[in-house]
Structure 1
């Protein structure tokens, strides 16, 4: 297990180098967080203004609709900005100039595929929520197992959305699933490595923010809370960028046997054994 984390950390280290050369990539996940947060703030404010919260809480149908909308919005916005990061990483690996504007333009070109993907994710998420709510422990187990399988199957969905000319949901899933099957050991250890680095940092930031809210007051609370919030957001942003950089490099290796970015100069099959 320690060896796997060590190998995953090597991918993190090399992905950091890519991030260091392209620090403006941090703008993309920041925009994602701001867009999602702003959208939910507007919806919540509107619901509170017109007294719709109690109706949602007491109506199963409205709850399901709210869950569908929430997943659709967060999925579409998050996928859009992650697609921009993938495009920039792809350009960088090919020695081309990268820019936030170019990444956003590339994501906009595949907006219809992103919309299809987001509706699919929202539909499945809502169905799984209904199963979890209505079938007790068995439903919860089914949801956990399906979430795990779905996460692995769709690990490379965003690179496929950006880099491949796929039409329809089935080819999208097939491309993603095939790429993951070719690199499942590398993909899992790289993801664990990124989580191993940034999850504790995020927990520290959240803990500091919570402490400031519960136990401090006045200017010290504002300063300490702001510091915790900055650490939390920085961890989320860095993890998102590095995750997309690593996935793009691994996808290139899976479909074209090209060793770029975190895979350059090494053999993933020996560095990340999948047995």
Structure 2
């Protein structure tokens, strides 16, 4: 068990090392968080300015509309910046120079596909939420099953959008699902490894925030809350970056059989063996 955790740390470390060739690229996930935060801040301000708070609490139509907007915004912004990370990682794998501007330009070229993807994700997410809310246990079970299936089907959706020539969402989903089916063991193991590492990174931040909120007062409480928030945000940024790099490397392996990035000196088929 310990060896599996160790391999997770190694995969995460080697993924982040890819961006040491161009450290400025860490700005991409930071910009993603800032953009999502800014968008929600604007929406919140509009809600209060227009006096819609009560309607959001009492009116289902307003609730569903707000949920759709929230999912569409977060999905589109996160996908846009992840697309930039994927493009830059692919360039670095090939030994080509790249930059933040280069990544953003690549994501902008795929803006239509990203927008379509965000609308579909928001629609599905809203429908599943309604099923969960209206149909009790059956709705909750349906939502859980579809969420899992959707996550697996779309595991490679960002690399496919950025690096593949397919332009219709249907073909992109088929391609993503096919690639995941071919590499499901490596994909799940590597992703869980990265998630576990950054969960450990985030835990001190959560603890600091809890202490600041429940135990401390005054400036000490403020300092603990801010410090905890910074640690959690750093964990989120690191997790986004490492996951995007891992998925790009696995995409390259699935499509060409070439080991790059964190899999340059290890075989993805055996990096997380059962024993």
| Length-normalised TM-score, structure 1 | 0.95
2:267 equivalent to 1:267:
yes
Q: How far apart are the structure 1 equivalents of 2:17 and 2:211?
A: 33
2:155 paired residue number:
155
Q: How far apart are the structure 2 equivalents of 1:251 and 1:270?
A: 16
2:14 paired residue number:
14
Most deviating of 44-53 and 135-144 = 44-53
Checking the alignment, whether the CA contact within 8 Å between 1:186 and 1:274 is kept in structure 2 is no
2:240 paired residue number:
240
- RMSD, matched Cα: 1.6
1:231 paired residue number:
231
Cα deviation code 1:123-161 (max 9, x no counterpart): 000010010001101110111111011101100000001
Residue 226 of structure 1 deviates from its aligned partner by: 2.0
Closer, same or farther: CA 79–224 of 1 in aligned 2, 3 Å:
same
Closer, same or farther: CA 274–121 of 1 in aligned 2, 3 Å:
farther
Q: How far apart are the structure 2 equivalents of 1:70 and 1:241?
A: 22
1:74 paired residue number:
74
2:32 paired residue number:
32
Residue 273 of structure 1 deviates from its aligned partner by: 4.3
2:166 paired residue number:
166
Unaligned runs of 5+ residues in structure 2 are none
Unaligned runs of 5+ residues in structure 1 are none
Cα deviation code 1:8-29 (max 9, x no counterpart): 3332121122133332222111
2:92 paired residue number:
92
2:219 paired residue number:
219
Checking the alignment, whether the CA contact within 8 Å between 2:12 and 2:193 is kept in structure 1 is yes
Q: How far apart are the structure 2 equivalents of 1:190 and 1:229?
A: 26
**Secondary structure of the corresponding residue to residue 265 of structure 1:** coil
Cα deviation code 1:181-209 (max 9, x no counterpart): 11111111111111111112223213312
Q: How far apart are the structure 1 equivalents of 2:274 and 2:53?
A: 48
2:48 paired residue number:
48
| Length-normalised TM-score, structure 2 | 0.95
Most deviating of 211-220 and 22-31 = 211-220
Q: How far apart are the structure 2 equivalents of 1:255 and 1:25?
A: 25
Q: How far apart are the structure 2 equivalents of 1:153 and 1:135?
A: 25
Residue 272 of structure 1 deviates from its aligned partner by: 3.2
**Secondary structure of the corresponding residue to residue 186 of structure 2:** helix
1:209 paired residue number:
209
Checking the alignment, whether the CA contact within 8 Å between 1:185 and 1:274 is kept in structure 2 is no
Q: How far apart are the structure 2 equivalents of 1:4 and 1:181?
A: 22
